[in-house]
Structure 1
Amino acid sequence: MRIEKDDFGTVQIDDDVLYGIQTIRTKENLTFSKNILSEYKEYIRSLVYVKKATALANFEDNVISRIVKEKIVDACDTLLQGQHLEQFVVDVYHGGGGIGINMNINEVIANLCNEAKGIYSIVHPIDHVNASQSTSDVCHTAIRLAINEAYEKLAAETADLIATMNRKTNEFMPIATISRTCLQDASRMQLGEKFSGFESVIKRRHKKLTDAVEELLTINLGGTVIGKGEGASTLYKKIIIQKLKEVTELPVSRRENLFDAAQNIDDLVDVSKQLSLFASALLKIAKDLRLLSSGPEAGFAEILLPAIQAGSSFYPGKVNPVIPETVIQCCAEIIGIERVIQATFEHGDLDLNVFENFAGIHLLDGIYMLTKCIHNFRKQCFEGIIANEARCDTLANSRIPQICDLKEKFGYSETIRLLNEQGINEEEK
């Protein structure tokens, strides 16, 4: 064990761990969820990128020495390889605007740099690792980089889903079936036309979401706490964005108004709204597939979904639409996340929104869930959908589609007259 001390007393820390007393304080005082920083690899990686970039800028600005810079960069490169994830132990939901997260990363990097853990004689977690920074601009920047990285996987899965939807659209285009309005029989349509609507809405929502995520690459690093850039030199503020570009290879840029960036998180809200709309579109499609596959004898039964597991512990042989039902639940969660993030925006008082990290973590959670959900939706459901051609043909030639054919030929009023001649009563009309 080692002993570390701060203004609030001393703490015994296992000598094997890389974090220090500030991390322990957050862990002991502010933990209430199961959402621990070590589970958010993109966020850790993004925080490390920020610390690496700031070390490069601080060295160029003569704020830290070459040896300190090299040690910080080496420590960052070690972490970027995915090592020591277990050292990030703070609850990501904590008060203080993310200070526990920032100090966790600062202390781990510092202890990787020094010869003895907790003895910050060469590299200090605040004086060196956190030089020219505040938790506010560090976490603001890193959470946006993390969301951008996590979204890459969601975007790839979505592209695969759109391609699958396109194949099904073409596959089902020769098959005639029935449309429905108000859940009642309507005119004849091609099954592929129905699926083309699925494809189109997902393509549109994907584009809108991608545009919103790209806006997150406009960040406030260099603004320190409230946007004034206190504690950072003019040179540092001039070069830090370029250093971040170099280490991340991302087209990051500085926010036009850094006071606005500290006060308002509407860019995160915009992403959450687009994610919610994306989820709403998926939810609607999942509900439609559930209806279209209902039966198999007493329902619509126009399509057959892949049977992937038993559907009932009571009815032998029953198979349920479990993948669409899972998608519905996932999307409902994401719609709920959007409201949480909206509330987080509203609670940003005066000059700093200290709940920004709370919003960002919820966005990451939503992206993680939807990425996995879309993968399963495509692989275990969409790719294996089969058209029930006999059933579709029966429905395509049922009463209402035939009446629609008459209307196209004779007009609405003449069709009514012809139907009356056939003995159709008013109630049926």
Structure 2
Amino acid sequence: MTSESTTEQQKNTRIEHDLLGDQAVPADALYGIQTQRAKQNFDITGMPISHFPELVKSLAMVKAAAARANHSHGLLTDEKAGAIQDACQTLINGEHHDQFIVDLIQGGAGTSTNMNANEVIANIGLKKLGHEYGQYTHLHPNNDINRSQSTNDVYPTAARLAIVFAAQSLKSAIGNIQKSLAAKGEEFSDVLKMGRTQMQDAVPMTLGQEFHAFASDLGGERTSIDHACAQLCEVNLGGTAIGTGINAPSGYASLAVSELADISGLPVSLADDLIAASADMGAFVTFSGSLKRLAVKLSKLSNDLRLLSSGPRTGLAEINLPAMQPGSSIMPGKVNPVIPEAMNQTAFQVMGTDTTITMAAEAAQLQLNAMEPLIIYNLLNNCRILSQSIKMLDELCIRGITANEDRCNQHVENSIGIVTALVPHIGYDNASRIAGHALLSGLGVAELVRKEDLLTDEQLAEILSPKAMLQSS
């Protein structure tokens, strides 16, 4: 390397030092040496911390709460406490997130994430205090930003907040798709069709009832998520390394958590046993279970939409999904149910990673779970892809569904299943004989009933009317 290029590199970098030695860091970077090392070590998912703004903001909230508590205990000067809180507020406002560059999956139980936050906040604070980046004698990532803290209480606390924040958009998406499904239930309330069990004709129902059932099936999911979020709001902040509170002053934990509740607007509370809380991932497992439950229901809904729209000539074809794109590179005219298919795939991902989360939670050893980064990565990602996929399914599919009423009526007329609705009117023996005749002849039940003058057209129409179907449900 020439002297000119060496000089140019020196202009573009600053040298920082840690226990492993010196390291060049980009001169204009808000992060420091430990973040730089982590970036070099972990290149796994391609998703840095900044991919999830909720996590960056939550880290800043935790650091701001800690600064307030430390200041109250006389451990930070007015100047330092003010600089830290101002720096945290810029992150909460959405600024400088690009400086959170560490991969979500990392060794060290989240230490790299914590240090990324410490270094960025320190350097933003240094600039506010009139110093250059990296001049940590004036505001130190560990001594000041991380005072009275450990990765082991900061990281899981911030992660819990981030997941609760991410859950809000998910709950909103669930509410919206419920409304759309219920609206379709009203729209299709007079469309008679066959219900099916075990993929065989069962008894008549309305298409409206089917869509109302879809909406109702999602009814408890927001409540399930709320219950899981309530568990996540119990935090171990102030427990420091293993829950004993080492290096934190007496009363710090309660004060820090109180400040965090004020800053975040969430009902966070201090865990009863901080040692247990430092290693326990039970709340994360519960939350993952609520996402898996939601995914199972969404996948079933998507399966049903694909079946009901199958055809269009040789399938059920009882509903029409919006045509979103050509379906084949070889078969002209083919249009596939691509939106429900994508929802299915998202659901499978969530179901699969629930197993991953369970295994990572079980992997805790003694006073810490080193696999927390994998849990956090998957839960935040699952919240995001579920929210986006539900919005996609709602806006690009559900709202544009139309009923193929003629096809539904044909299925009812030709089905053996409608004979069940006729039993109270023509008797079980007549119904059994008619059903057997229909099976052998290929004729419709309604047609045979008319031929034998067992019921009039008016009586059949009344028995098989949507109103009657609704009354019998």
- Output the CA distance in 2 between the equivalents of 1:277 and 1:295: 30
- Cα separation, 1, equivalents of 2:245 and 2:84: 22
Q: For residue 111 of structure 1, what is the aligned residue in structure 2?
A: 123
Contact 1:177 1:395 in 2 (8 A): yes
Q: How far 1:30 moved relative to its partner?
A: 3.0
**Map of 1:287 onto structure 2:** 303
SS of the equivalent of 1:344 reads helix
Structure 1 residue 391, shift from structure 2 partner = 0.7
1:64 is aligned, of 64, 76, 82, to 76
Partner residue, 2:315: 299
Q: Which amino acid aligns with 2:29?
A: V
Give the whole-Å Cα distance in 2 for the aligned partners of 1:339 and 1:10: 41
Letter of the aligned partner of 1:36 in structure 2?
P
Counterpart of 2:202 in structure 1: which amino acid? A
Equivalences for 1:255-404 in 2 at 5 Å?
255-404=271-420
Q: How many percent identity over aligned positions?
A: 38
Tell me which residue corresponds to 1:122: 138
Deviation, 1:74, is 1.3
Superimposed CA distance per residue, residues 11-69 of structure 1 (whole angstroms, 9 cap, x where no aligned partner): 11121111111111211123322121121111000000000111011000011111110
Cα distance in structure 1, aligned partners of 2:175 and 2:362 = 34
Which residues in structure 2 correspond to 1:225-240 (within 5 Å)?
225-240=241-256
Which is worse superposed, 57-66 or 108-117? 108-117
SS where residue 202 of structure 2 aligns? strand
- Within 2, Cα distance between the matches of 1:423 and 1:216? 59
Task: Choose the corresponding residue for 2:421, options 385, 405, 413.
Answer: 405
Q: CA deviation at 1:91?
A: 1.1
The residue aligned with 2:266 is 250
Which residue pairs with 1:198 in the alignment? 214
Q: TM-score, normalised by structure 2?
A: 0.87
Do the aligned residues in 1 keep the contact of 2:253 with 2:270 (CA within 8 Å)? no
Greater mean alpha carbon deviation, residues 290-299 or residues 23-32: 23-32
What amino acid sits opposite 1:72 in the alignment? I
Please say if residues 416 and 435 of structure 2, whose CA atoms lie closer than 8 Å, have aligned partners that are also in contact: no
Residue 119 of structure 1: CA displacement? 1.5
Q: How well do the aligned residues superpose, as a CA RMSD in angstroms?
A: 1.9
Q: Which residue is equivalent to 1:217?
A: 233
Q: CA deviation at 1:208?
A: 1.2
TM-aligned CA deviation for residue 238 of structure 1 = 2.8
Q: Label 1:347 to 1:194 Cα distance change in 2 as closer, same or farther (>3 A).
A: same
Tell me if structure 1 keeps the 8 A contact 2:237–2:257: yes
Structure 2: segments with no counterpart, 5+ residues: 1-12, 444-473
SS in 1 for 2:205: strand
| Partner-residue secondary structure (3-state), 2:31 | coil
Report the CA distance between 1:413 and its aligned residue. Answer: 4.2
For residue 425 of structure 1, report the CA deviation from its aligned partner. 5.7
Q: Provide the rounded CA distance (Å) in 2 between the counterparts of 1:164 and 1:111.
A: 48
Q: Indicate if the aligned counterparts of 1:26 and 1:90 stay in contact, CA closer than 8 A.
A: yes
User: Any idea what SS the aligned residue of 1:401 has?
Assistant: coil
Task: Write the distance in 2 (CA, Å) between the matches of 1:206 and 1:373.
Answer: 16
1:418 CA displacement: 5.3
1:47 matched residue in structure 2? 59
Asked if the contact 2:189–2:208 (Cα under 8 Å) also holds between the matched residues in 1, the reply is yes
The CA distance in 2 between the partners of 1:407 and 1:93, in whole Å, is 62
1:9 aligns with 2:21: yes
What amino acid sits opposite 2:169 in the alignment? K
Contact 1:113–1:122 (CA under 8 A) maintained in structure 2: no
Give the equivalent residue in structure 1 for 2:95.
83
**TM-score w.r.t. length of structure 1:** 0.96
For 1:99, the equivalent position in structure 2 comes to 111
One-letter amino acid matched to 2:279: Q
Paired residues of 1:140 and 1:357 also in contact (CA < 8 A) = no
Partner deviation per Cα, 1:379-418 (whole Å, 9 max, x = no partner): 0000011010111111122231342233233444453245
Provide closer, same or farther for how the CA distance between residues 117 and 182 of structure 1 changes in structure 2, counting only shifts above 3 A.
same
Corresponding residue for 1:182? 198
Letter paired with 1:85? H
User: Deviation of residue 109 (structure 1)?
Assistant: 0.9
Counterpart AA for 2:61: Y
- Secondary structure at the residue paired with 2:145? coil
CA distance in 2, matches of 1:138, 1:376: 35
In the TM superposition, residue 161 of structure 1 has moved relative to its aligned partner by 0.6
Distance 1:425 1:236, change over 3 A: same
Equivalent-residue separation in structure 1 for 2:327 and 2:171 (angstroms): 31
Separation (CA, whole Å) in 2 of partners of 1:16 and 1:225? 32
Which whole-Å CA distance do the structure 2 matches of 1:68 and 1:405 have between them? 78
In the aligned structure 1, how far is the partner of 2:285 from the partner of 2:248?
29
Q: Secondary structure at the match of 2:193?
A: strand
**2:325 counterpart letter in structure 1:** Q
Task: After the TM superposition, list the runs of 4 or more consecutive aligned residues in structure 1 that deviate by more than 4 angstroms.
Answer: 417-420, 422-428
Q: 2:187 maps to what in 1? A: 171
Is the alpha carbon distance of 1:423 and 1:244 closer, same or farther for their aligned partners in structure 2, counting shifts above 3 Å?
A: closer
Q: Deviation per CA, 1:203-239, whole angstroms, max 9, x where unpaired? A: 1223212221232111111111211111111131231
**Number of the residue aligned with 1:30:** 42
2:395 partner SS: helix
**Is the 1:206–1:278 contact (alpha carbons within 8 Å) kept by the matching residues of 2?**
no
The 8 Å contact of residues 151 and 241 in structure 2, kept in 1 or not, is answered as: yes
Q: In the alignment, what sits opposite 1:151?
A: 167
Cα distance in 1, alignment partners of residues 421 and 368 from structure 2 = 64
Shift of 1:302: 0.3
Query: For the residues of structure 2 that align with 1:205 and 1:312, how far apart are their CA atoms?
Result: 36
Cα shift at 1:167: 0.6
Contact 1:209 1:278 in 2 (8 A): no
**1:2 deviation in Å?**
1.3
Quote the Cα distance in structure 1 between the aligned partners of 2:80 and 2:95: 21
- Which residue is 1:19 aligned to? 31
Q: Which amino acid aligns with 1:395?
A: H
Amino acid at match of 1:14: P
Larger Rg: 2
